Chains A and B, each alone.
Chain A
Amino acid sequence: AQSVTQLGSHVSVSEGALVLLRCNYSSSVPPYLFWYVQYPNQGLQLLLKYTSAATLVKGINGFEAEFKKSETSFHLTKPSAHMSDAAEYFCAVSGDAGNNRKLIWGLGTSLAVNP
């Protein structure tokens, strides 16, 4: 069965520092992987997605993620944090072939950016 683990429910970085949010997945089929961002009092917004093309995926707002099959990981990074990056970040993996529109979600990581 598919599952997602996000390591660290809260991450705090200084403005200008590297952002690294960790996501590990388990999947019985070749996965599609997603990162979403949720700003306060808003819905979730797609940051980027991996769909079996390039393993390094670039998204919006300077974020990128690398698919590593050997490590079953899809960590999200940004070279330099900005105050506006403070939000909740969710990693998700596609469901199994029988339930192929469903996404399996991680519990989320809250990112705080300190001045």
Chain B
Amino acid sequence: DAGVIQSPRHEVTEMGQEVTLRCKPISGHNSLFWYRQTMMRGLELLIYFNNNVPIDDSGMPEDRFSAKMPNASFSTLKIQPSEPRDSAVYFCASSLALEQHFGPGTRLTVT
């Protein structure tokens, strides 16, 4: 079991650039979650998918953020255009039941 895989692990970009974060969930898991973690706001759920369908995107901050899950083994979180306040650690997690398994995260820095 390779666990949840996220790429890249670190991303540094300039304000205004497009950023794409990638996630490969654990094989067989049918729910996928995107979280953002900052010192100020803690752990925030951005969006989650069930069977590749977005179920709850109420945590997506604004239209600059979008997420897709084209198949059961891949998801992306895109920020366009990026802003310095988007700097955070972004986690992907997957689950088969309620227990969520987290990836190692992507640390995003927007300068």
Contact = CB atoms under 8 A, between A and B. Distances in A.
Interface of A: 32, 34, 36, 42-46, 49, 51, 90, 94, 99-103, 105, 107-108
A99 B55 contact: yes
A100 B99 CA distance: 11
A101 B55 contact: yes
Interface residue SS majority, chain B:
strand
Contacts of B48: 101-102
A93 to B, nearest CB: 10
A108 B42 contact: yes
Contacts of B31: 101
B35 to A, nearest CB: 9
B102 A34 contact: no
Contacts of A51: 98
**Chain B: number of interface residues, binned into ranges:** 20 to 34
B72 to A, nearest CB: 15
Interface in B78-103: 91, 93, 95, 98-103
Contacts of A32: 98
A43 B4 CA distance: 10
Given A101-B50, A102-B33, A108-B42, 8 more contacts: A46-B99, A46-B100, A49-B98, A49-B99, A101-B31, A101-B98, A103-B45, A108-B43
B98 A103 contact: yes
B105 A99 contact: no
A99 B56 contact: yes
Contacts of B105: 42-43
Given A43-B91, A102-B48, A90 B43 contact: yes
B104 interface: yes
Contacts of B104: 42-43
A44 B95 CA distance: 13
B55 A34 contact: no
A105 B33 CA distance: 13
Contacts of B101: 46
Contact of B100 (A42, A99, A103, A108): A103
